[in-house]
């Protein structure tokens, strides 16, 4: 059985019976998805684990508020997004922002000097605003469809499509500028 059908089956079972056993199965099925989501946003391994657990517990506690079972995944990602925003606020207020990224500026500079792509990756990622990063992670890391992203972020579908297009153009332009600079060396 593939991962997607396993997730759907675990979700359907949980929404039907809502027992602790069904939740454990749902947790096991969805945990990797949310872990990837938080890692994709630059959270450290331990923080991503904790946030993933928090999301799934919040899902369990508030599943009664879900009006449409078909909207479960976007609804759960909205919870995940709120969890990420709260964690960023906590980190910022506690001035522990170094934990947000797996590499510090010295590491990025060293990799750039070695000719690696990490410096470029950090540069173009830093050029994106928060919503651009969010949409790209949901689309290309999580593989969500445009309508699911729109629902998860509370945006019109057309806005999501336009933002993905514009962000890809922005990245392509940044890549072209770097490639051009490298050719001049």
Asked which of 66, 82, 101 is the last residue of a domain, the reply is 101
Q: What is the pLDDT of residue 179?
A: 56
Q: Give the 3-state secondary structure of residue 57.
A: helix
Alpha helices in 67-156 (DSSP H): 72-93, 105-113, 118-127, 130-136, 146-153
Question: What CATH number does residue 19 fall under?
Answer: 1.10.1740.10
Q: What is the pLDDT of residue 177?
A: 62
Q: What is the pLDDT of residue 101?
A: 40
Asked if residue 170 and residue 137 are part of one domain, the reply reads yes
Report the distance separating Cα 55 and Cα 51, nearest Å. Answer: 6
* Average pLDDT, consecutive stretches of 10 residues, N- to C-terminus, the chain (185 residues): 84 92 93 94 91 94 91 94 91 52 43 48 70 85 88 89 87 68 49
Q: What is the pLDDT of residue 124?
A: 64
Q: What is the pLDDT of residue 22?
A: 92
Handedness of CA 33, 35, 41, 42 (dihedral sign): negative
Asked if residue 65 and residue 38 are part of one domain, the reply reads yes
Asked if residue 63 and residue 14 are part of one domain, the reply reads yes
Report the distance separating Cα 115 and Cα 108, nearest Å. Answer: 11
Q: What is the pLDDT of residue 181?
A: 54
Asked if residue 83 and residue 119 are part of one domain, the reply reads no
Q: What is the pLDDT of residue 45?
A: 92
Phi-psi region of 155 (alpha: psi -120 to 50; beta: other; left: phi over 0): beta
CB 79 within 8 Å of CB 58: yes
Cα 62–chain centre separation? 21
Asked if residue 2 and residue 34 are part of one domain, the reply reads yes
CB 154 within 8 Å of CB 78: yes
Report the distance separating Cα 155 and Cα 65, nearest Å. Answer: 20
How many domains does the structure of the chain reveal?
A: 2
Query: pTM higher than 0.75 for the full model?
Result: no
Q: What is the pLDDT of residue 1?
A: 65
Structural domain including 115 reads 103-185
Q: What is the pLDDT of residue 93?
A: 67
Q: What is the pLDDT of residue 180?
A: 58
């Amino acid at each position: 059985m593939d991962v997607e059908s396993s997730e759907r089956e675990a979700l359907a079972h949980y929404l039907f019976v809502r027992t602790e056993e069904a939740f454990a199965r749902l947790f096991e099925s969805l945990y990797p998805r949310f872990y990837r989501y938080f890692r994709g946003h630059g959270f450290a391994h331990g923080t991503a684990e904790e946030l993933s657990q928090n999301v799934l517990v919040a899902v369990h506690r508030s599943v009664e508020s879900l009006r449409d079972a078909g909207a479960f995944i976007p609804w759960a990602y909205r919870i995940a997004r709120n969890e990420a925003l709260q964690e960023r606020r906590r980190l910022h207020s506690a001035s522990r922002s170094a934990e947000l990224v797996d590499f510090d500026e010295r590491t990025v500079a060293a990799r750039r000097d070695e000719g690696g792509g990490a410096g470029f990756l950090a540069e173009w990622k830093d050029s994106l605003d928060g919503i651009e990063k969010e949409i790209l992670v949901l689309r290309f890391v999580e593989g969500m469809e445009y309508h699911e992203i729109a629902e998860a972020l509370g945006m019109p579908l057309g806005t999501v499509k336009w933002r993905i297009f514009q962000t890809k153009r922005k990245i392509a332009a940044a890549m072209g500028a770097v490639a051009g600079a490298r050719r001049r060396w």
